[in-house]
Structure 1
Amino acid sequence: MFSGLSAFPLTPMNESGLDEAAFVRLIGRLVTANVDSIGVLGSTGNYAYLTMAERARVVRLAVEHAGIIPVVVGIGALRTCDVLALAEDAEAAGVSGVLMAPMSYQKLRPEEVFGLYEAVTHALLVPLCVYDNPGTTQFVFSDELHGKIAQLPNVASIKIPGVPEDPVAARSRVERLRAQIPLHVTVGVSGDGYAANGLNAGCDAWYSVIGGVFPVTALAITRAAQAGNTKEAIRLSERLKPLWQLFSEYGGSLRVVAAAAELQGLVEHPCLPLPLKALGGEGRRRLGGLIDELDLS
């Protein structure tokens, strides 16, 4: 489950509530493409902006419509008691696994992060992926802390930020982490522009934002890397450089993929919770051209 392409769809919504029909369409698109897993309520899924009830509803819709494809759900929250409640909801809905970042308002200390994972993993009935996302959480994991957390029960994967561009440095980064963790714990790369390098460097999975909107495009990169065709994986990724540039220019991937989903007619506008807004203006026009030029699907 924690290998191959894990596609993370948006949670389409506006100030009136969830757009359940659009969310089901996005899930159906991933099922048709036959992604390896579906990751709901990650950062792309806007989990931090949803109520507990909304999150529970999203999970049930995902599991109901994902068919045989495993569903992994984000359970991050500010308080441990809420994380535990979200984990129970997810397990009751029939998810295959959970994903958790050390979410906080006050910056967390390493011992507090370990205590969070210790409390949650001992209560879990399904495997967990550690979500290492310093850009959002402002917490930087050391490899030593990853190693300590990876020894806890039910820890099955680590979702790391992007790897170095240089192939040798990328492989060294992955190998340093692997030296700290048990063999059964997989390593997955995030940061879509780094995915080909990460997979070629030995990462087991790509936890993908564009996979949630353009699964066929993301699968092509993933399958090339899995087949050992490193040059093809890099070529396919390099082809998407204008898209990675948009991510960089507009503060990350969320606003861009939200606009892409709107342009494709997959979701209604607006599809993000205020104050977030999908890409507009000149950036949106550029994105529309790229979708056609690159034949993204």
Structure 2
Amino acid sequence: MFRGLSAFPLTPTDDQGIDDTAYATLVARLAAAGVDSIGALGSTGGYAYLTREQRADAVKIAIEAADGVPVMAGIGALRTSHVLALAEDAQKAGASAVLLAPMTYQPLTEDEVFGLYEDVTRELSVPLCVYDNPGTTHVHFTDELHGRIARLPNVGSIKIPGVPDDPAAAKARVDALRALVPESVTIGVSGDWMAAVGLNAGCDAWYSVIGGTFPQTALALTRAAQSGAAGRATELSDELEPLWVLFRRHGSLRVMSAAASQLGLTGEPNLPRPLRGLDESARQEVVAVLHALGLTA
């Protein structure tokens, strides 16, 4: 299941909890659009701000609304025992895979990161995607660490944070990592503005923020790259540069929060405190870009 477009929706949340109806609507839109998988409770889904009970409910809602499309559930937490409990909840709910980022307060050593994945994969009955996201976790994976982890049982994919802008350098980056992991383990790119370069360089999947709200747009880029139309994939990404600018300026989560609200898919607020949505000036930037790109319909 770790191939093609994996779309990561928001989990609309306020001080009263998750908006179950809005969340189900977001997930159902992705399934109807034909995404290859759905990433529930990734960073875009705000997993770190939710209780175990809320996360278990969110996984159940996502699986029901996905209508057969595979759902990968985020299980990251500070303590290994909590990760294992979340993994159990996700598996009981019927998740097709789990996504694990090494969350930390105290800095983790490489052996501690490896030990986390060793402990968790030993207990799994579904495949796991390694979530390499140094921007939020402050854990920096080496390729050698990825290679060690990728040889553990049940590891199915590695979600890398991005690739170099230069196509040749991007291919060298992907090839270097691929040489260290088993053939059964796929490599997926994140950092949406790097998706086209990553897919064209040989990444198997795009773990996509924009795909969680604008699945057709993300699918067009993904399918172009998958069909070998590298130039077309690059063109489609270049057309989205105004949105990528906003992602880099404000953070993709807050931009997608504003976009989902603008489209009437969620209410306000839709982020858990202490997170706050964009101010009015930045929100108007988002609205203007959505209109310019034809993403308001």
TM-score under structure 1 length normalisation: 0.99
Identity %: 62
Superposed displacement of residue 278, structure 1: 1.8
Query: 1:216 and 1:47 mapped to 2: Cα distance?
Result: 25
Query: 1:262 and 1:182 mapped to 2: Cα distance?
Result: 42
Q: Which residue identity does 1:40 align to in structure 2? A: A
1:53: which partner in 2?
53
Superposed displacement of residue 92, structure 1: 0.3
Query: 1:24-58 deviations in whole A, cap 9, x for unaligned?
Result: 11011101101000000000000000000000000
Query: 1:273 and 1:28 mapped to 2: Cα distance?
Result: 22
RMSD (Å), alpha carbons: 0.7
1:170: which partner in 2?
170
1:262: which partner in 2?
261
- Mapped pair 1:156 → 2:156: yes
Superposed displacement of residue 280, structure 1: 2.5
Query: 2:290 and 2:29 mapped to 1: Cα distance?
Result: 17
What SS class does the counterpart of residue 123 from structure 1 fall into?
coil
2:249: which partner in 1?
249
Query: 1:110-166 deviations in whole A, cap 9, x for unaligned?
Result: 000000000000100000000000001101000000000000000000000110000
Query: 1:248 and 1:291 mapped to 2: Cα distance?
Result: 16
Q: Which residue identity does 2:152 align to in structure 1? A: L
Query: 1:185-244 deviations in whole A, cap 9, x for unaligned?
Result: 000000000000000000000000000000000001000000000000000000111111
1:144: which partner in 2?
144
Query: 2:138 and 2:289 mapped to 1: Cα distance?
Result: 32
- Mapped pair 1:108 → 2:108: yes
Query: 1:120 and 1:105 mapped to 2: Cα distance?
Result: 19
Matches within 5 A, 1:81-230: 81-230=81-230
- Mapped pair 1:290 → 2:273: no
What SS class does the counterpart of residue 152 from structure 1 fall into?
coil
Q: Which residue identity does 2:88 align to in structure 1? A: E
Identify unmatched segments of 5+ residues in structure 2: none
Number of residue pairs aligned between Structure 1 and Structure 2: 296
Superposed displacement of residue 12, structure 1: 0.2
- Mapped pair 1:62 → 2:71: no
Identify unmatched segments of 5+ residues in structure 1: none
TM-score under structure 2 length normalisation: 0.99
Query: 2:67 and 2:16 mapped to 1: Cα distance?
Result: 28
Q: Is the 8 A contact 1:56 1:86 kept in 2?
A: yes
- Mapped pair 1:238 → 2:238: yes
Q: Which runs of 4+ in 1 moved over 3 A?
A: none
Q: Which residue identity does 1:24 align to in structure 2? A: A
Query: 1:133 and 1:66 mapped to 2: Cα distance?
Result: 25
Q: Is the 8 A contact 1:259 1:280 kept in 2?
A: no
